[in-house]
Structure formats: C-alpha cells, structure tokens
Amino acid sequence: MIYGVFSDVHANYEALKAVMAFFRKNKAGSFICCGDLVGYGPQPSECVREVMGLKNLSVVLGNHDAALVGKLEMRWFNHNAVAALEFARKSLAGQELAYLAALPETIKTGDFTVVHGSPRKPLTEYLLNEAQFTDNLGYWEASPCFLGHSHLPVYFRQSGDEPPETDFLLPTSKVMLAGVRYMLNPGSAGQPRDGNPRASCGLYDSEKKTFEVFRLDYDFSKTQELMKRGGLPHMLIERLAFGL
C-alpha cells in the first residue's frame, strides 16, 4: 500500500492542492496526516474540507487544531498565531469545527503510529534531538511513527543496541525502514521552516517498508495575496517566501 504522508498544512490551500496532485500522480491509495490543518494561512475551510473528503485517511489533531476547538489554551501561542486562529474560527463552518474536535491525538495501527508532536506529549512536544527520541521510545510500538509539529523533514532511528541517530530527510532520498525503529517527519506542506519554501510531503510504502520525502513547487504568492486580503499578520505572510 502506498500512503501519501503530510503534515502542518496550516490553511495553505495552494500548497495542499500541489500535495494532493502529487499523491494522485503517484497512485497513493491511503493517506496519513500528522495534524495542524488550520492556523497561519488564509483558507482553513478549503483545507479542512479537502482532508474531510479523503478516503483511507489516518489523521490526528494538531496543536493549532486543538486550540481552535478549545482543547488547548491560547496562552501556548504567540500573538501572530492567535490572530490567525481567530481568523480561522470566523471562517470555519460548524461541520468543519466538529470534524476537527473529533480528531484523536494518537493513532496506532499494526503498520504505523501517528502523532502530531510526540508519542509522549502529542500536542505540545517538539521532537528535535536524540535524547527526546530515546525518552519517547516507551510510548509507541508500531514503527514507523509519523509526526509533525516542527515543520522540519527529519528522521530519528535506532537499530538494536546502537545509539540513536537523527538527520534531515533530503528530497527523493529513500529510507529503508525494515528492522529499525523510525520516527519520520514529512516536513510541512503549508509552512516549511527549513529554508526551503516548497511544500514538503512523503510517500510510505507499507509493503516495501520505504519512505521518501518530496518537495513541490506551488505559487505561494497566491497564498500571500489571500493572507493580505484577510488582514493576517505581515510576518506570517513574508515567511512563506523564505521557508522560515
């Protein structure tokens, strides 16, 4: 089974459309989303509805999603993020809000695990180093574990008694997953933060046990223009061009 893996859409519908077109082209029959459909961007309704329409989808709650539906306090967010969430709340219909509110924080299957931040703290922990990876090993079983939140395409792995490793996932660099415990972050579809503004996503082959990250061009100027029209913070608009 080929899975399209994506995370941190953040209401960037132009980026999401590019990701979905890529998945269709590569015959992904199932999907894994590591949360944060809303926040920052100008089209939360379009993004939520796009994801709602996906079949064979495993999707978890992100921290911005959680704050929007009252499951996480706004004090965890800076003023720019709060402004974007207030914009999203006015933009979403009741059905869309109910969909977000019903999302689980963790998904466990026989083939993989899905969280937003980390298995230990699904909504709030940023997985950034080997020590955190080691501390989280007891909180999940099925490997790989897919996660988002940091907006960085990275992997964490441990093989047998060897020390854990972490590094960036480079585009089209295939990771062989068999026999090794992996945490995999596909990067952000809608707001990358690794200095590359192109949308980031991945393909997981559950039979061959492989994972690849891909970067996709999209017209971020369209997203920026919609953000300007919506009165979203200038900093959020500008960062899209730089992948920061």
| DSSP conformation letters of 4-33 | EEE---TT-HHHHHHHHHHHHHTT--EEEE
pTM assigned to the model: 0.96
Q: Is the per-residue pLDDT at 205 higher than 90?
A: yes
What average pLDDT does this structure show over 65-73?
Answer: 95
38, 85 in Cβ contact below 8 A? yes
Residue 159 pLDDT grade (very low, low, confident, very high; cuts 50, 70, 90): confident
| Domain residue ranges in the chain | 33-239
Question: What proportion of the chain, given as a percentage, has pLDDT over 90?
Answer: 94
Residue 146 pLDDT grade (very low, low, confident, very high; cuts 50, 70, 90): very high
Q: Is the per-residue pLDDT at 194 higher than 90?
A: yes
pLDDT at 173: 80
Q: Is the per-residue pLDDT at 244 higher than 90?
A: no
Closest residue by Cα to residue 203 from 55, 59, 15, 31: 31
Looking at per-residue confidence, does 172 or 83 come out higher?
Answer: 83
Residue with tokens 């509110």: 101
What average pLDDT does this structure show over 223-234?
Answer: 97
Q: Is the per-residue pLDDT at 83 higher than 80?
A: yes
Expressed in angstroms, the distance from the first to the final Cα of the chain is 33
Phi, psi of 180 (to 5 degrees): -135, 140
Of the listed ranges 51-60, 105-114, 144-153, 163-172, the least confidently predicted one is 163-172
- CA pair distance 131, 161, nearest whole angstrom: 15
Residue 98 sits at the vertex; the CA angle it makes with 95 and 102, to the nearest 5 degrees, is: 140
What CA–CA distances, in Å, run from 216 to 18, 200, 222, 225?
7, 6, 15, 20
Residue 13 pLDDT grade (very low, low, confident, very high; cuts 50, 70, 90): very high
- CA pair distance 185, 202, nearest whole angstrom: 9
Q: What is the pLDDT of residues 160-185, one digit of tens each?
A: 888 899 999 999 789 999 889 999 99
pLDDT at 162: 85
DSSP character at residue 163: P
Q: Which residues, in sequence order, are bridge partners of residue 215? A: 200
What average pLDDT does this structure show over 79-106?
Answer: 96
Burial class (CB in 10 A: 0-12, 13-18, 19+), 9: buried
Mean of per-residue pLDDT scores for the chain = 96
Residue 113 sits at the vertex; the CA angle it makes with 159 and 70, to the nearest 5 degrees, is: 135
Asked if the 33-239 domain carries CATH number 3.40.720.10, the reply is no
pLDDT at 112: 97
Closest residue by Cα to residue 118 from 100, 145, 94: 145
pLDDT at 76: 83
In the three-class reduction of DSSP (H, G, I as helix; E, B as strand; rest coil), residue 48 is classed as: helix
pLDDT at 240: 96
Note if the bond before 192 is cis, omega within 30 degrees.
no
Question: What proportion of the chain, given as a percentage, has pLDDT over 70?
Answer: 100
Structure-token pair, residue 92:
């979403």
Structure-token pair, residue 103:
């999302």
pLDDT at 74: 87
What CA–CA distances, in Å, run from 134 to 95, 145, 186?
39, 13, 20
